[in-house]
Structure 1
Amino acid sequence: MTNNHGAGCNLFSCLQGKVILCVEDEDLILSMYEKRLAIAGAEVLGAIDGEQALNILAEKEVDIVLLDLEMPNMDGVAVLESLSKSEKFSSIPVLILSNSSRVDDYKSIVALKEMGAVEVILKSNISLVALVERISELLALSK
């Protein structure tokens, strides 16, 4: 089943061999991301907050980070700042997926991109299928 838009992403294999870190504090949303990305062939690592995400990154190489902004302990902005300041992590694409008001405001989106986010998406505005396609496109661009 190949889609006919954009990159022609096969939704059952287009993320084959990719390692994706999903940083999301809502269990149900994290579970949905993990299941859909695994169907597309990705190895998915889940973190429920920024501290856990940075610990995972210290031990495992990832191809892309999906990052929520509002989380306990260490929020997404703090994670993004840490990644952008690190020589080891600054080249990893970071896709912000959040329902925070910070992703609905132009100035905030610009600020997040200046901090290193490759894209900022309102969670409620993207389907899981479209998310897989967008991740595939971003990974192709980051090669």
Structure 2
Amino acid sequence: MITNLDSNRGRKLARLLVVEDDPAVLDIVQTRLEMAGYETHRARDGKSATDMLATMRPDAIVLDLNMPRMDGFAVLEWMARRSHTADIPVLVLTARHGEQDVRRAISAGASDYLAKPFRNDILLARVERLLRSRLRPVEDDVLI
């Protein structure tokens, strides 16, 4: 499990991509994640995010839905069509919180969904949960 304590032990922490077009929200999210010990990279729109994903592989992504050039739904669909990005967990962080938007994002490949405004502790808990689920060994899964 990746936690804040890992930074004290000298371990490499998880790399996160934050995709958000609002500069204030982007700064807040990036600052909170970095304070928790995560390595963060940022993109201000969906097209920039997909360009970055062509050359880097983050451990998880925090993704807004309402963005210029390419919205979050299009990013999720783009990721799902590529083997090198299809399994990256994505936390959608957006002001769009209608039932239809949530269902569409999850269907397109989002792992979790958090509506704005958000609490910082909830954001960090959701990111940690995404990373735990990604790093859990296969033999821990119970098949019924």
The TM tier, using the shorter chain, reads 0.7 to 0.9
CA drift at 1:108: 2.7
- Contact 2:14–2:59 at 8 Å: present in 1 too? yes
Q: Which runs of 5+ in 1 are unaligned?
A: 1-6
CA drift at 1:121: 1.3
CA drift at 1:10: 4.4
CA drift at 1:55: 1.1
> Are residue 128 (structure 1) and residue 120 (structure 2) matched?
yes
> Are residue 141 (structure 1) and residue 133 (structure 2) matched?
yes
Which of 100, 113, 118 is the matching residue for 1:107? 100
Give the number of equivalent residue pairs: 132
Q: Which residue pairs with 2:86 in the alignment?
A: 90
CA drift at 1:63: 0.5
Q: Which runs of 5+ in 2 are unaligned?
A: 136-144
Q: Which residue pairs with 2:140 in the alignment?
A: none
Q: Identify if the C-alpha distance between structure 1 residues 26 and 11 changes in structure 2 by more than 3 Å, giving closer, same or farther.
A: farther
TM-superposition CA deviations, 1:57-95 (whole Å, max 9, x none)? 111110011110011111111101100111110000011
Q: Which residue pairs with 2:30 in the alignment?
A: 34
Which of 44, 54, 72 is the matching residue for 1:76? 72
Secondary structure of residue in 1 paired with 2:93: strand
Q: Identify if the C-alpha distance between structure 1 residues 13 and 129 changes in structure 2 by more than 3 Å, giving closer, same or farther.
A: farther
What is the TM-score normalised by the length of structure 2?
A: 0.83
CA drift at 1:11: 8.3
